Structure 1
């Protein structure tokens, strides 16, 4: 059994003022949060802390600057309040005078959500933990609290101020989501399987997907590719795919940053990579499909094609273990959910050991009426889940560990 070397909330004295980092980053459509799965998980930690009469201020993020999902957390406070069945106050400030005044008024049993931490200078980009500990965000907020609790396992791979800065300057503990996700996901790589192990790899972030193949080389036997990595792999294989067309900015910059790695992965692991045979696109408001061979990209593709989906489902059915990282298509649009849902349904119908990773993919399970109990584990983490699977260190975990495994 995997053991942890960090302190948990079991070791906290009651009635303290706590700064708690959670991850309620969610899909957003027209400015409205579409999924509350992460809220429900963190509510378990918060209820436990409230039962011990702690006063809580929450740090969280939503989206990234420049993205449509980069919005205020005001509605997040209301969603969290529904799960906690108690009021969650919100302040449209993170570490300015308004935030500090609201924190100063906190009493036992109170919950306060601070504004989107990614709106603050110093939160991004990735930097060493010691530099993050010196940011104005950390230096201003830390003195206002007795301790810091990190419950945001899904961003434990990010060296951002709200993740790695506070443990450098104050007592830090792991919340229940952090503790349970880390223990479960780390244990995956310690399992051994006699049969085939398959990884379905999709999503929109090449930086999270491309290196995965090399990281899990010793764990996974075959890879089913979709999403951005699926198209970029076709481009590397010589097909006229994986390009931006007018009005899109999804592929070209990712190709420029990762093309050498993609080509290396195809050359090194080509016999274990299953590439797309067909793709789905929109035509006259409905789903249409085309094979990959001989096609010039003139439109956006939103899903793997039906032939590819059936082939991937067959591979899953024959596997002893299946891991999923990222959606295979734009499943939020029912016309383009076939690839993701057919593969997930095949996993659910099979007696295999299965882990579904990533908030968006987990959202698809509920959205299309699948039962999460048909999977061995549904993780709310994406990048952190893959890193734990491959044994790569998680900086957000390392800074919590004692004794001083990380120098801040």
Structure 2
């Protein structure tokens, strides 16, 4: 296991890697639940008398979301109720001067670490530990804290290099996410375990089904992934209409695997009985899957499917969710996703809801995070945790311990 904040001595200067990668509008970051979660870790560090310097990323080079972290500092300050100094530099002279002047109880945010040449290449931790980024910053700090669980599957310099040259600890987000998301691999459940899978990427979810075979009793499938499985079952859905590019390329790449998965796990896969679409008046309409002909886009599972999935959830001791069952951002087509989440919230079961979009539905439709055992802010790292694949940043922390 790794060291946590419980093992960190007070009154130190600490370098903290967080993940506040956020939606961008008009060139500025927009608030999301990652800011609030990391603010809890930062506040705990400040209460312990630490001087806190933050490393974070935003977007990738070449994309519209690849912006400075200046607007992120203002959002963090709102959550912390204290000032967050921002410096438009990561490990140059301006950054080093700001770090040197950092006092106990103060917070400094460095510039987007992905603007540094050393950061993005996927390399072995030992190589990253020798990078200019790590070698320049590490001597200025007493300890390194990695709180960026949602990026823990990336072998980037700021995530895996520092634990090899410094005392390294897991922040609270890292600690809690790792514990909850690894539960499907590490905990034993006496009753029924159900997994609800949806979203858009079959390549993410097929390995999950295969890897949790010994733990999960029943899989409920919806979203684009669910429609692809309906296609494999012989129904006239799961293909592109004019102007759509969601299905056919996935079928070409994964159709054989989807059919094989359906053959092997068929009696444990709950597919939708009905699907919802927008009728000519702009209202929600539903049609049974049996005998269906796809003449329009399907945007949600139907009422019978939602009820069946919800019943399955209520019978379960543990429920894991990855991916939305429909286009829940449109209230007309939120019934499947929200209906299943409401059933989980009403049930006394161990529950983990993961995938950024799915967890966002909890907030959008007035559900309380307290009604779930854990709501993950991770995407790729959550999928890897479900399948038991190693997370390189977690391994780096464990090695440091």
- Give the TM-score taking structure 1 as reference length: 0.84
Question: What is the alpha-carbon distance in structure 2 between the residues aligned to residue 179 and residue 374 of structure 1?
Answer: 20
Deviates more, 1:203-212 or 1:44-53: 203-212
What are the superposed Cα offsets for residues 134-186 of structure 1, whole Å, 9 maximum, x if unpaired?
44543444344333210122332332332222223333211122223323443
Deviates more, 1:199-208 or 1:254-263: 254-263
Question: What is the alpha-carbon distance in structure 1 between the residues aligned to residue 195 and residue 63 of structure 2?
Answer: 28
- Is 2:208 the partner of 1:212? yes
- Is 2:336 the partner of 1:331? no
Q: 1:47 aligns with which of 43, 64, 79?
A: 43
Aligned CA distance change for structure 1 residues 112 and 315 (closer, same or farther; 3 Å)? same
- Is 2:147 the partner of 1:151? yes
8 Å Cα contact 1:7-1:402 kept in structure 2: no
Q: 2:348 aligns with which of 348, 351, 354?
A: 351
Q: 1:6 aligns with which of 2, 8, 27?
A: 2
Q: Which residue of 2 aligns with 1:394?
A: 391
- Is 2:177 the partner of 1:181? yes
- Is 2:79 the partner of 1:83? yes
8 Å Cα contact 1:347-1:375 kept in structure 2: yes
| Local SS of the residue matching 1:112 | strand
Question: What is the alpha-carbon distance in structure 2 between the residues aligned to residue 378 and residue 10 of structure 1?
Answer: 23
- Is 2:192 the partner of 1:201? no
Deviates more, 1:119-128 or 1:225-234: 119-128
Q: 1:23 aligns with which of 19, 25, 29?
A: 19
Q: 2:307 aligns with which of 296, 307, 310?
A: 310
Aligned CA distance change for structure 1 residues 231 and 30 (closer, same or farther; 3 Å)? farther
Deviates more, 1:332-341 or 1:226-235: 226-235
Question: What is the alpha-carbon distance in structure 2 between the residues aligned to residue 124 and residue 55 of structure 1?
Answer: 27
Q: Which residue of 2 aligns with 1:368?
A: 365
RMSD value, Cα: 3.2
Aligned CA distance change for structure 1 residues 28 and 280 (closer, same or farther; 3 Å)? farther
- Is 2:267 the partner of 1:271? yes
- Is 2:104 the partner of 1:108? yes
Deviates more, 1:38-47 or 1:274-283: 274-283
Question: What is the alpha-carbon distance in structure 2 between the residues aligned to residue 239 and residue 117 of structure 1?
Answer: 48
What are the superposed Cα offsets for residues 323-347 of structure 1, whole Å, 9 maximum, x if unpaired?
1122222322222211110011111
What are the superposed Cα offsets for residues 357-402 of structure 1, whole Å, 9 maximum, x if unpaired?
2333222222211122322333333443454455443222111114
Question: What is the alpha-carbon distance in structure 2 between the residues aligned to residue 206 and residue 95 of structure 1?
Answer: 40
Question: What is the alpha-carbon distance in structure 2 between the residues aligned to residue 217 and residue 156 of structure 1?
Answer: 24
8 Å Cα contact 2:197-2:325 kept in structure 1: yes
Residues 130-141 of structure 1 aligned to structure 2 (within 5 Å)? 130-141=126-137
Q: 1:384 aligns with which of 381, 397, 401?
A: 381
Deviates more, 1:357-366 or 1:246-255: 246-255
